[in-house]
Amino acid sequence: MSGFDLSGLTASFGGERVIGPLSLKVNDGEQVALVGKSGAGKSTLIRLVHEHVGRESSLVPQELGLVNALPVFHNVFMGQLDRHPTWYNTLSLIRPFSADRSSIKALLKALGMPEKLWTPTASLSGGQRQRVAIARAIYRNAGLLLADEPVSALDGPLAHLVMNELKKRFATSVIALHDVDLALKYCNRIIGIQDGQVALDEHSERLTSADIMALY
Amino acid sequence: MALDHIRKFLVSSLLMTATVTASAETFVFTAIPDEDETKLVERFRGVADYLSEELDAEVRYIPVKSYAAAVSAFRNNQVQLAWFGGLSGVQARRLVPGSEAIAQGVEDEAFETYFIANTSTGIEPADDFASLEDQLRDKTFTFGSKGSTSGRLMPEFYIRDTFGDAPEDVFSRVGFSGNHTRTLRLVEAGTYQVGALNFQVWQKELGDGNIDTDAVEVIWKTPAYPDYQWTIRGDVDERFGDGFKDRVKQALLNLDDPALLESFPRSGFIPASNDDYEPIRKTAEEIGILD
Amino acid sequence: MFSYPTVRTSLAFLAIAVVGLAFADIAITAANPWRDLGNFFLGVITPNFFSSEGLLTALLRTVAFAFVGVALGSFFGFFLALVYRAWPVRIFCAFIRAIHELFWALIFLQFFGFHPLTGVLAIAIPYSGIFAKVYSEILDEADPEPGRLLPPGTGRIAAFLYARIPDCWAQMRTYTAYRLECGLRSSAILGFVGLPTLGFYLEASFSQGLYSDAGAMLILFYVLIATIPLWVRPKLLPVYVLGAPFFLGEGLPIVWGNVERFFTEDIIPSPLKDGEGLSGLMSWAGDLMVEQALPGIWNTVVLTQVALVATGILALLMFPLISKHFGGPVRRTSGHVFLVVARSTPEYILAYILLQLWGPSMLPAVIALALHNGAIIGHLIGRQTNGIRLRPDAVTGFGRYSWELVPRIYRSFLAFLFYRWEIIMRETAILGILGIYTLGFYVDSAIQNIQFDKAMVLILITAGLNIGIDALGRYIRSKLALQTMPTC
């Protein structure tokens, strides 16, 4: 059960409505791309959905939320802190177990950065940091992915690699994207947001990039 | 992080166990810090060695930083014997029922306080304290320690008794130098114009040639009063065996090592009793140091 | 200029200090203050390192007490920081840190006597309160986002260890290291009340005018503090912390009955013990207030205000000593040495030295407080100016100082100053033990007269005054929107 059906979603900022009221229903197996101008309310909508579906989702926020003082391994491992007893987690902080080490290493390899396993997160580049947050979301392995511009700092081939990985691992997702081509390629449903309202909602096969550009 | 705190916790428990191992059967004594520390340590280590031999027990002297600390250590049974001044002895015996003054110096039966002045003040020595009133008013003045008999209690008593005012009202500035040697040095240097100290310290320093008599002189001597004494706790017999108190008393009275006696300086020790110090108690109550 | 709230506040404090100065007892009473000062400096440059067999032991004990006290303080402070949101905890922490280490030592001396626990607790208790406050400030500043992203059902401990601690770790470590340095100073001055640390021998040497001995001790102490980065290594820390308890010395055994007696008899106001009832208590309290507490409070406040402004002026004068915008490397290095010496010397020791040399008045206390605290603030803002990049054609000399630098650092300067306000008052109160008529004088007198009931009331009043100043300082800092790092 990873889809959701939410209605009456609203958000205001400084007394001004930025989102809604709108309804959003996402079924299992739908991979939704949120598109629209910056400031249209995509990030706010992702946040709202995250609040409403509880935390039974893997979230990649725009600001990533990494613990800079910890190495990559631990930032990724944090996705599964709820699966282990406290003693296990505490021990992992000092000396990780080999099963976790190999699974996280494999995950990083899929994202193109296996050599960074023990690098402190603070010393990574923007694109690497983004992939650490993505790895954490994948490792978390919830039924629903909520991601806000997860590949904004990645160059072409890497962006495709990562989006492909996300598509493969999450049957159901809502991803805010400013790159229209990526949206069309890796998502099966496109929702356009304009002035806080749904201005477009279509299967991606029925859309071309020109249709979407109308929103911008 | 977590490890660090576990370490710290271990430390705290270690601390608790490591510190209870100190030996309980050592006979410990102290003394009021009325003079320079090096002199005290030298003097009382000698006494500790002497007592240790006479009593055939482990005897240890611990130096303290204030008269009150000496009284507290005695009261708390961390020391069992102390060389107190008149006032500190009275305080200690009030707080420890059963404790006794057992010996005093020959000179302590009739102790005196000397008022001294820096010669730049031009104050002339006098036999009659009252005649010095005009010259003393508005000078700066220092006592010794706040808890001293010869350095605080008796001089304050005579100041109040003679001039009818508290010391703060007689003098422009009143300080507490800390001990008698310090009082001597401060008045000699002119930091304070007038001071009051233990006459034995004055005479010993004078004899040793440590006083610049062009800079400081004695201007008045108080009438005699009882002062220093050895006071012992009442429960030492229970702890160190029957007759221990008497053996300590006898050892002190028998002390005849001239070098050791010279360091006090006393010519010898004679028996004393709690009642000998009644005048001190009354004086202290009169000026409000004792409740 | 006068429209700036920071300038108006500064002028108001300056005015208060000037008025305070009129009431303050400022004088040099020594006949030959400069000769004595000269002798002292002569002593420092002709140090005698072999004066006392106990010196090295004292140094070792100083370090041991500091390590054990600071370790326990940080341990308990850390756990208090976790529940610092609860106001009873806040009040409790404000209270325990408002009482100076020396006062704690004087209290514990009454029932633990010369047992190592006295010195350890005297440091650990107030430090717990300080650590609790600063640790909780650091934890509050941690980025909350990683915590929000944790999967639901994550245990609280795991969440804390992964999402909060790592971000705060570096800052907490820096602060703890700084506190260790403070702990060494605290530990040293505990000797002044009889614990077996450096202050014990320092006091003895000074009071006997043995300046070469005293000079040697001071030099050893500066070296000890200046070399902290060399001998306090993260890897060695467990060794030190585990080993320190074994170097505290034996002291004398605790007699537990004394503890009970202290709390059930000694500190009960004497009229209650004597059954004089409420009216007896009222007149007892009234006398205590009029004769001791009020004069003590007045002198403490006057001295604090004068010392605060003197600290500020000195800090502004001293920061160019280490600023890279003035002078060459030689001048800056000597400036560094001067500031390190001034801030490594505890105020209490500085005041003690100056009192011995100049005679008793508030002057030595003001100078001591201003030198120590001014050097600390001067060091912090001097370092801050080194981060400022001036345009290549900026004016030089006094113009650079007054136009380019002071305006830029003034707000953080004020923040540091108001942060230290409470610390200066704590010290002011304690300097009374040396014979200046602040609250500490009356506390010490009460203890010397074996009147612990009075001493406790006066200590509580001192703590209350401190808590008040702390709150006022915080209010002014927030009113002026001044930010400050806790490591000051």
Contacting subunits of B (3+ beta carbon pairs below 8 A): A, C
pLDDT score recorded for residue C31: 67
Residues of C in contact with A81 (CB under 8 A): 150-151, 154-155, 158-159, 162
B104 and B150 both lie in a single domain: no
Domain assignment of residue B48, yes or no: yes
Among candidates A69, B5, A94, which has minimal Cα distance to C142?
A69
| Inside any domain, residue B244 | yes
What mean pLDDT value characterizes chain B?
Answer: 88
Inter-chain CB pairs, A–C, below 8 Å: 71
Residues of A within 8 A of B1 (CB-CB) are: 93
| Domain stop point among B191, B206, B221 | B221
Please check whether residue B131 lies inside any domain of the structure.
yes
Cα of C184 to nearest chain A Cα, Å: 30
Indicate the range of A24-33, A78-87, C249-258 predicted with least confidence. C249-258
- Asked if the domains C1-31+273-488 and C48-266 are classified in one and the same CATH topology, the answer is yes
The answer as to whether B16 is a domain residue is no
N-term to C-term CA, chain B = 54
Rounded to whole angstroms, the Cα distance separating B287 from B168 reads 14
Lowest-pLDDT choice from A212-216, B119-123, C177-181, C310-314: A212-216
Residues B124 and B210 in one domain: yes
Kindly state the average pLDDT of the residues B96-115: 95
Identify all chain C residues contacting A85, using CB atoms and an 8 Å cutoff: 155
Residue B14 has pLDDT above 60, yes or no: no
What is the chain C residue with the closest CA to B10?
C242
| Contact (CB, 8 A) for C108 and C121 | yes
- Say if B20 is an interface residue toward chain A (CB within 8 Å): no
Which of the two residues, C135 and B264, has the higher pLDDT score?
C135
Q: Are residues B131 and B193 in the same domain?
A: yes
Note down the domain range covering B180: 112-221
Which residues 130-169 in chain A show a CB within 8 A of chain C? 136, 140, 142
B236 domain-assigned: yes
Task: Say how many domains are in chain B.
Answer: 2
Q: Which helix (H) or strand (E) holds C156?
A: helix C156-159
Question: Shortest Cα distance from B3 to chain A (angstroms)?
Answer: 9
Q: Is A99 on the interface with B (CB under 8 A)?
A: no
pLDDT for A153-187, tens place per residue? Answer: 888 899 999 999 999 999 899 999 988 888 988 99
B118, B214: one domain? yes
Residue B4 has pLDDT above 60, yes or no: no
B280 touches chain C (CB under 8 A): no
User: Are A89 and C169 a contacting pair at CB < 8 A?
Assistant: no
Chain B contact for A67, CB < 8 A?
A: no
Q: How far apart are CA C153 and CA C259, in angstroms?
A: 47
% of chain A with per-residue pLDDT over 90: 40
Same domain, B81 and B163: no
**Per-domain residue ranges of chain C:** 1-31+273-488, 48-266
Residue B184 and residue B216 in one domain: yes
Which residues in chain A are closer than 8 Å to B2, comparing Cβ atoms? 90, 93-94
Instruction: Say if A81 is an interface residue toward chain B (CB within 8 Å).
Output: no
pLDDT in tens, chain C (488 residues): 677 888 999 999 999 999 999 988 888 877 677 777 888 889 889 998 887 777 888 999 999 999 999 999 999 999 999 999 999 999 999 999 999 999 999 999 989 988 999 999 999 999 999 999 999 989 988 888 888 888 888 888 899 999 999 989 988 998 999 899 999 999 999 999 989 899 998 988 887 778 899 999 999 999 999 899 899 888 898 899 999 999 998 888 888 888 998 998 889 998 888 888 889 899 999 999 999 999 999 999 999 999 999 999 999 999 999 988 887 888 888 998 899 889 888 889 899 888 877 877 899 999 999 999 999 999 999 988 988 888 888 888 888 888 888 988 999 999 999 989 999 999 999 999 988 899 999 999 999 888 899 999 999 999 999 999 989 988 998 888 887 655 54
> For B155-169, what is the mean pLDDT?
93
Structural domains in chain A plus CATH codes: 1-57+145-216 (3.40.50.300), 67-141 (no CATH)
The answer to whether the Cβ–Cβ distance between A90 and C152 falls below 8 Å is no
The DSSP string of C391-454 is PTT---HHHIIIIIIHHHHHHHHHHHHHHHHHHHHHHHHHHGGGTSSSHHHHHHHHHHTT-HHH
B168 and B240 assigned to the same domain: no
Summarize the confidence of residues B75-103 as an average pLDDT: 94
Residue B286 lies in a domain: no
- Which helix (H) or strand (E) segment is A202 a member of? strand A197-203
Axis crossing angle, helix C165-190 with helix C347-358, rounded to the nearest 10: 30
Q: B201 and B146, same structural domain?
A: yes
Angstrom CA distances, C329 to C207, C336, C339, stand at 39, 10, 15
Q: What is the CATH number of the domain that holds B118?
A: 3.40.190.10
Distance separating alpha carbons of residues C447 and C356, to the nearest angstrom = 23
Say if B32 falls within a structural domain: yes
Please check whether residues B46 and B124 belong to one and the same domain. Answer: no
Instruction: Examine residue B217 and state whether it is found in any structural domain, yes or no.
Output: yes
State how far residue C315 is from chain B, nearest Cα, in angstroms: 31
CA B32 → CA A175, B67, B257, C134, distances in Å? 82, 5, 22, 42
Q: What is the per-residue pLDDT for A55?
A: 66
Q: Which two tokens stand for residue C205?
A: 């040497």
Complex ipTM: 0.82
B6 touches chain C (CB under 8 A): no
Inter-chain contact B73–C208, Cβ cutoff 8 Å?
A: no
Instruction: Could you please state the CATH topology (level 3) that the domain comprising C48-266 is classified under.
Output: MetI-like fold (1.10.3720)
Identify whether residues B95 and B68 lie together within a single domain.
yes
| CB within 8 Å: A69 and C170 | yes
Spatial distance between the Cα atoms of C466 and C130, rounded to a whole number of angstroms: 13
The pLDDT score that the predictor gives to residue B21 is 38
Please enumerate in sequence order all residues whose Cβ is within 8 A of that of B104, keeping only pairs 6 or more positions apart, or say none. Answer: B226, B227, B228, B229, B230, B269, B270, B271, B272, B276
Q: Which of C241, C254, C449 sits opposite B11 (nearest CB)?
A: C241
What would the pLDDT profile of B224-261 be if each residue is shown by its tens digit?
Answer: 999 999 999 999 999 999 999 999 999 999 999 999 99
Flag if B1 and C113 touch (Cβ within 8 Å): no
- Average pLDDT score over residue span A10-23: 80
Task: Write out the CATH class of domain C1-31+273-488.
Answer: mainly alpha
Q: Is B239 on the interface with C (CB under 8 A)?
A: no
Question: C131: closest CA among C452, C388, C487?
Answer: C487
| Cβ atoms of A193 and A34 closer than 8 Å | yes
pLDDT of residue A141: 86
How far off is chain B from C193, nearest CA to CA, in Å? Answer: 6
In DSSP terms, B231 is beta-bridged to B82, B101
**Domain end among B189, B221, B253:** B221
pTM (two decimals): 0.85
> In terms of domains, do B204 and B234 share one?
no
